[in-house]
Structure 1
Amino acid sequence: MNKLMQFGEIVDGYDIPVLNEREIRASAGILFLATYTSLMFILFAGNFVLVKYVISCFLLDLLIRVFINPKFSPVLILGRLMVRNQVPEYVGAPQKRFAWSIGIVLSAIMFYFLVIVNAYSPITGIICLICLIFLFFEAAFGICLGCLFYPLFYKNKVQHCPGEVCDIKSRQDIQKVSLVQVIMLLLFIVSVFFATRLLQEQFSKRPHDLFKSSTTVKSR
């Protein structure tokens, strides 16, 4: 029974329960895609049906992770299937549990307003944006934003962070960003800014069907 309800896996060489960061990132990507898609339905079609399903599934999945066992989370199971051929990257379970608890609070508020009260407001919009940012950073960069708040509430040292960011002392040469690289990044940003001014008219033209004759397009 204890093993059924435990949070995290016991792995040789680790003194605390751990989770597989690769499947966590995969599940975050799945949830991000679902949440983002439901948001597009709201913005372009005024359709709130999909987001209600997404929020309900999101909340249920997080409740299973935190209060039962991450092993039985449907989205984590799907993430595990997606990355099952990759070598696991173990991360500490305690900080993940804290981060997912934040997710429960946010999704529960969304569930209350959008599903039970059936109303939207700036509150739901802001929370949705926060959830998207959290999911994107986890999926794209492997950065658990919720985990950053863990030391503020617990005195225990954070262990086994993704990429060992909580233990790293100095960056290797391949991780360092030179002045030339910074200049290249700034030049790219500036060029994009000016391109939006110079090419706005050209880019605003509606594309025509490649396989229809130009005369047909002009006649329209």
Structure 2
Amino acid sequence: MNNLIQFGEIVEGYDIPVLNEREIRASAGILFLATYTSLMFILFDGNFLLVKYVISIFLLDLLIRVLINPRFSPILIIGRFMVRNQVPEYVGAQQKKFAWSIGIVLSATMFYLFVFVNAYSLITGITCLICLIFLFFEAAFGICLGCLVYPIFYKHKVQHCPGEVCDRRNRQAIQKVSLAQIIVLVLFIGTVFLATGLLRERFSKPPHNMFKPSPTAKSR
């Protein structure tokens, strides 16, 4: 029973329960894709069916992670399967539990409003956006936004953060952003904005079927 209901794994060399960050990021990517797709159905078709299913799965999965055991989370199992050939990256379990508890509050709010009340509002829109931001930062950058506020509520030292960001140490040379890189970035952004204005008319033309004559060719 103790092995069934627990949070985090005991791994040799770590004095606290840990989780595999790689499978967490994979599961965040899966949930991000599902949530984003369901929102696209709402924006372009006014169809709320998919988002109700996604939110229900989202909430159930988080409840299993936090209240039972992350090992039995269906989405984490899929994530584990996808990254099973990669070397694990261990992170402290406790801060993840706090972050996922925030996820439960957000998803439970959306579940109640979308499924029980069957209504949408600015509240559901903002809540969905926050969830997307949390999932995107986790999947794309390995940054757990919920973990960042964990030290505010718990004063003990945070251990084994993703990428060891909780360890205060100097960045290595390969991590530092030089002045030349900043200049390149600024020039790139400026070029994009300039090109947006100059190429707007050309880019606005709808594409034609490559294997059929274009409307311009027909008119000639």
Same fold (TM over 0.5): yes
| Deviation per residue, 1:183-208 (Å, 9 max, x gap) | 00000001111111000000000001
Residue correspondences, number: 219
| Equivalence for 1:79 | 79
Distance apart, 1:155 and its partner CA: 1.3
Q: Distance in 1 between matches of 2:91 and 2:192?
A: 38
Range with bigger deviation, 165-174 or 176-185 = 165-174
CA offset digits 1:121-162 (Å, max 9, x no partner): 000000000000000000000000000111011111110011
Alignment match, 2:32: 32
Equivalent residues of 1:208, 1:217 under 8 A apart: no
Letter in 1 for 2:161: C
CA distance in 2, matches of 1:136, 1:50: 19
**Identity percentage of aligned residues:** 81
User: Counterparts of 1:54 and 1:62 in 2: how far apart (Å)?
Assistant: 12
Residue of structure 2 in register with 1:120 after alignment:
120
Give unpaired runs (5+ residues) of structure 2.
none
Whether 1:9 and 2:9 are equivalent positions in the alignment is yes
Determine the C-alpha separation between the residues in 2 that align with 1:26 and 1:217.
48
- What are the ranges of 5 or more consecutive residues in structure 1 without an aligned counterpart? none
Distance apart, 1:77 and its partner CA = 0.1
Give, in angstroms, the shift of residue 214 of structure 1: 3.3
Aligned to 1:3, the other structure's residue is in SS state: coil
Q: Which residue of 1 aligns with 2:169?
A: 169
Q: TM-score, normalised by structure 1?
A: 0.98
Q: Return the TM-score normalized by structure 2.
A: 0.98
Residue 39 of structure 1: how far off its partner (Å) = 0.4
After superposing on structure 2, the runs of 4+ consecutive aligned residues of structure 1 that deviate more than 4 Å are none
Question: Equivalent residue of 2:149, what SS?
Answer: helix
Residues 36-185 of structure 1: pairs in structure 2 closer than 5 A: 36-185=36-185
Distance 1:4 1:204, change over 3 A: same
RMSD (CA atoms): 1.0
Corresponding position of 2:194: 194
Question: What is the CA-CA distance between 1:48 and the residue it aligns to?
Answer: 0.2
**Distance apart, 1:167 and its partner CA:** 1.0
| Other structure's SS at 1:33 match | helix
| SS state at 1:77 partner | helix
